[in-house]
Structure 1
């Protein structure tokens, strides 16, 4: 077994339009990297964090990657010493599962470092505990796709029931991250506590349609199912230019477009890399026109999840 390991874990898009809190998918970029190194003295220590502009704590009991690794070791009753270096390779508070990627990278790395005592699916509860530290809720719609890759459905939390959904070969993701900030807490607080039955029925139909479209590689069904009548209409007001960005994506050939997680990032799905790049360019033009900077990420759906780096 190695004494040190470097791991990449991918960013994710949660909700995926109609699938609020139950759907997510992983992308090839961006993501986070961690380096875990064994040490002689017991305990988990975060030695270095880069790319966070000093915003994240190095306290292992209060940082998502430290908590995930610590819970893993505690569960297996292993009194190991682990030093962690965290490289944030994606924007914080972007709606791309930044905290989830860190937790997943950490728990995947420590499992590899200790000879893989658990399988990949068994690592999920520890990554979820990292998420609890980051946002107050151990939700899985970011950590599950980051850990397992591909599209993931969280059917239930009690008991935890997570299903990986087959993904069409030529499905591409465009993500644009506007340089504005949306607090997850604010994005949750503005949501309605009750919804009309009519809207619920529409949403259920769209979730079923989206999953069926993915499994059947029916791109048109995927497109017409990517409609959120419950959450997006409310959260859109927090993202400047959202409706114009979405329309630009659809006009450029995207199958569908929506808010990634709680925002401010916006994602679109397309049937080719060429269309995905065109979609990104048109989305960015809209934000440029209202003087908002942005980053664009283009990738296929990441079906593998975390990777060991040389």
Structure 2
């Protein structure tokens, strides 16, 4: 059995516009890496964190990676296990791309591999949700479930947890742009209203059903038509500079649908080819540059694999 392992876990686009807290999908890049080593001394230590500019806690009980791994070990009754963790952040923190999720998932996948896979990948989701609870105060699964399972995932129910892996078109590309502005996840969640009008709920239900149907039918036009949010996006988009202008630019460049990734500030579009996705990111970054906002972009097919062990 190995005593050291290196794991990559992918970024994710949560909500997919209309599916607040119940839909998400994984992408090939960016992502985070964890190097985990079995030690002779029981307990978890974080020996190294890179790429976080000193923002993440190294105390085991406060870091999402180590805290979720601790829950996992307690569940298995393996508290005698000793682990050393090195976390390498390869993606921006607070980007709306599931940064905490990617780290947590990489850690859980790593420890599960080191211990001989006592749990299935799907069974790791509740432990990853513990990490999300630590990161943003609420244990949602729309980042961690697709990061672990790959592809598109629907959370049909939280009580009990019921996860549905969804099909999707083979030639589906995500064009992602991260404007380098600060939109803390906790603040973005607090903006959401607690009560909604029935007519808005009906609109939202129709769009979620349409999006899921479009994925099953591999109908890009139906997917795009369904990517409309009347509940959350109108509030959250206020925090993102020139959001509506970027929507227009993305649509004009051939996007099937456009919206906020997670709580933002990253935005994403779905497209039917890599060439179209690249054109979308080019137009969005050009516009952000004109209004003096730095940005990063990523073009990726949907990641159907989830986490992977690296050499």
User: Which TM bucket (shorter chain)?
Assistant: over 0.9
Aligned-pair distance for 1:25? 0.4
TM-score normalized by the length of structure 1: 0.99
Correspondence for 1:18: 18
Correspondence for 1:31: 31
CA distance in 2, matches of 1:149, 1:38: 27
Correspondence for 1:297: 298
Correspondence for 1:3: 3
Residue 74 (str. 1) matches residue 74 (str. 2): yes
Correspondence for 2:156: 155
Q: SS at 2:102's partner residue?
A: helix
Where do 5+ consecutive residues of structure 2 fail to align?
A: none
Tell me if the contact between 1:46 and 1:83 (Cα under 8 Å) persists in the aligned partners: yes
Aligned-pair distance for 1:178? 0.2
* Range 84-93 or range 187-196, more displaced: 187-196
Q: How does 1:218-237 map to 2 (within 5 A)?
A: 218-237=219-238
TM-score normalized by the length of structure 2: 0.99
Q: SS at 1:298's partner residue?
A: strand
Tell me if the contact between 2:137 and 2:186 (Cα under 8 Å) persists in the aligned partners: no
Correspondence for 2:41: 41
Q: How does 1:239-258 map to 2 (within 5 A)?
A: 239-258=240-259
Q: How does 1:1-310 map to 2 (within 5 A)?
A: 1-78=1-78, 79-310=80-311
Aligned-pair distance for 1:45? 0.7
Q: Which ranges of 4 or more aligned residues in structure 1 deviate by more than 2 Å? A: none
CA distance in 2, matches of 1:179, 1:87: 20
Q: How many residues align?
A: 310
CA distance in 2, matches of 1:158, 1:217: 29
Tell me if the contact between 1:31 and 1:101 (Cα under 8 Å) persists in the aligned partners: yes
Where do 5+ consecutive residues of structure 1 fail to align?
A: none
Tell me if the contact between 1:241 and 1:286 (Cα under 8 Å) persists in the aligned partners: no
Aligned-pair distance for 1:119? 0.8
CA distance in 2, matches of 1:43, 1:57: 17
Tell me if the contact between 2:32 and 2:88 (Cα under 8 Å) persists in the aligned partners: yes
RMSD of aligned C-alpha atoms? Answer: 0.7
